[in-house]
Amino acid sequence: MNKGILYFSAPWCEPCKLFGPVVDSAATQKGIPVKKINIDYDTSFVEQYNVKSVPTLVLTDNGGKELNRLVGKHDLNTVLNFIG
């Protein structure tokens, strides 16, 4: 099963700015694609995945079904474990 990450963030969110490079590093290490979603502009994704705060990571299968969710800023090891 192919997985992907939806990374919900906003340019005004300081934790998002700090967390972005961690997400990129984890995705590169795991060979998984990341779609970055600006919650101010991509409101359809925000509604579809019921995102209430940022930063939020949603792990999806290749059909877009949510497999797991991680809310808040975390360290690299946490994100790597989240991806699996």
Cβ atoms < 10 Å from Cβ of 2: 9
Catalytic residue numbers? Answer: 13, 16
Task: Give the helix/strand (H/E) hosting 47.
Answer: helix 43-48
Rounded distance between C-alpha atoms, residue 28 and residue 49, angstroms: 24
